[in-house]
Amino acid sequence: MNTRRIAAPLFNLALVAGLTCAGNVSSADATAPLPAKKAKAPKNVIVLIGDGMGYKQNAAASLYEKGRSYKQAVGQPGAVREVTGRPVTLQEKFPVQVDMATYSVKGSYDPLRAWLDFACVKADPTGSAAAGTAMSTGLKTYNAGLGVDADDKPVENPSERAIALGKAAGSISSVQFSHATPASYVVHNKSRNDHMGIAKQEVASEMTVMMGAGNPHFDDNGKKLKAPKYGYIS
């Protein structure tokens, strides 16, 4: 299948749907036309997000682990070309691959400028809320916006669509569940920093599963705190 490249992503996104494989075909009927089948909707949709994961993070991991990378840029600023090798990581072997731009509504990404000045990407970096909203809704928003468009209007996410169709939805994260990235698939809030408000929205939602890290009574290393910190949940 063709691979369509749109723009370099801030995050890598993998959608895994329930796939149906055709049965074995004998040599006798290998040339016979296959009967038309009605397309089936996927049974499950699983979104996997690697925070801050882009092409170069993939390439660095591939070079470290295998000594080679799938896509590698070579040359000098202003005359850079891409060299394609063999797929290394699992997602590079997927039959269908689509890239997406996740920068905020007023942001942009200029590859040539980035090659000429590596520090330019730090000038106005995309926030996790804007990137998460772009992935979960298909619309760009401002850096602090979570599940809202540039005019603060709520926009539907896949979890809400699934629930509206009578299906289950869940969000599991390696950080607190009210953090921007996991919350972008659940809530609508003008500020990603409103952790208490976000947590209340998530608990009040119809999500079947909400799971994340963190405990008010322990630090990030699992050591007991002298006094609990209620920064993410009451």
As given in the structure block, the two tokens for residue 117 are 């000045």
The catalytic residue among 128, 159, 171, 173 is 128
* Structure-token match 């993410």, residue found: 232
128 labelled catalytic: yes
CA distances from 230 to 98, 196, 201 (A): 40, 9, 17
Helices H / strands E in the chain, number of each: 6, 6
In the numeric block, the tokens 């599991």 are attached to 172
Whole-number Å distance between alpha carbons of 159 and 162: 5
User: Is 141 in contact with 157 (CB distance < 8 Å)?
Assistant: no
Distance CA 50, CA 2 (A): 24
Cα(190)–Cα(232) distance, integer angstroms: 16
Question: Rounded to whole angstroms, how far apart are CA atoms 58 and 60?
Answer: 6
Q: Are strands 170-172 and 209-211 parallel, antiparallel or unpaired?
A: parallel
Task: Locate the DSSP E strands across the chain.
Answer: 12-17, 45-50, 71-76, 79-84, 170-172, 209-211
> What are the two backbone dihedrals, phi and then psi, of residue 205, each rounded to the nearest 5 degrees?
-75, 175
Residues serving a catalytic function are 128
